[in-house]
Structure 1
Amino acid sequence: MAENTKQVYVVDDDEIFHFILKKMFEQQIDNKLKVTSFLSAEDALERLQQPDNQLLPSLIILDMNMQRMNGWDFIEAYRDIKCNLGQQIPIVMCSSSIDNRDIQKVKRTPELMAYITKPLDSEKMQQIKKLIGN
């Protein structure tokens, strides 16, 4: 991968969301960004732990509500492996929920940098861009 390339992991069980998000990244954030899609939290955790994973993501966009392992379960599992990763990875919780209890829980979770509601728009993409450091 080219130098200065940054990677974003998108962990969401909705394939349409992946498609839309990739299009929005292409339109609004420069092309030195690689978006890697995971339809399950388990697959993303497995990838993070692979020894050949040279390029850790600059950001993880995580859906709150998924089958089998949801976003909160992912955070719990991530806590067990983050010390082995060698760097902190900012995580953005992304959900269609506007429930204040969810928003408060995100604020109390140190691994989460932001809570972004679906659907995404250009303003929310700018917030994500800042978190990537682009």
Structure 2
Amino acid sequence: MNNAPKLVYVIDDDEVFHFIVKKMFGLQGWDVAITSFLCAEEAIEELNAAPADLPKLILLDMNMQRMNGWDFIEAYRELSADLREQVPIIMCSSSMNISDMEKVRKTPELNAYITKPLDNSKLKLIESYL
């Protein structure tokens, strides 16, 4: 049985969000290891390198410099189908825009959409994927 912490990729260009996620996950007592990516390109490179440990979950920011969340999804589609089937993605954004939410709903790679800031109900949703 594998007792290693569950790996979570957090892809967001806001360092404060990374800090908050680590703090909130820690307060939940979850056995997770967070790998932070401040730019989506690095996360794609990491996934493309076929890491030994796939993340159990990806938290993806929608609005980032250079490569945004939608660009990440486009690049993610180029990765192996096996990898894509195993790794759920939750998009996080401060956007309450209905068209963004609709686009998320129509994007098969995205499992859920949560708005920032995180709260207990959003943490429960995240936990359901771990």
TM-score category, normalised to shorter length: over 0.9
Given that residues 60 and 89 in structure 2 are in contact (C-alpha distance below 8 angstroms), is that contact kept between their aligned partners in structure 1? yes
Q: How does 1:1-134 map to 2 (within 5 A)?
A: 3-30=3-30, 32-51=31-50, 53-83=51-81, 85=83, 87-132=85-130
Quickly say closer, same or farther: Cα 1:88–1:99, change in 2 above 3 A.
same
Residue type of the alignment partner of 1:39: L
- Structure 1 residue 97: Cα displacement: 0.2
With normalisation by structure 2, the TM-score equals: 0.93
Separation (CA, whole Å) in 2 of partners of 1:86 and 1:93: 15
With normalisation by structure 1, the TM-score equals: 0.91
- Structure 1 residue 108: Cα displacement: 0.2
Given that residues 49 and 85 in structure 1 are in contact (C-alpha distance below 8 angstroms), is that contact kept between their aligned partners in structure 2? no
- How many residue pairs match? The answer is 129
Structure 1's unaligned 5+ residue stretches are none
Residue type of the alignment partner of 1:67: Q
- Structure 1 residue 29: Cα displacement: 3.9
Separation (CA, whole Å) in 2 of partners of 1:128 and 1:8: 10
Separation (CA, whole Å) in 1 of partners of 2:40 and 2:84: 20
Given that residues 76 and 84 in structure 2 are in contact (C-alpha distance below 8 angstroms), is that contact kept between their aligned partners in structure 1? no
Paired-residue identity, %:
57
- What is the root-mean-square deviation in Å for CA atoms of aligned residues? 1.5
- Structure 1 residue 49: Cα displacement: 1.5
Separation (CA, whole Å) in 1 of partners of 2:90 and 2:20: 17
- Structure 1 residue 87: Cα displacement: 4.5
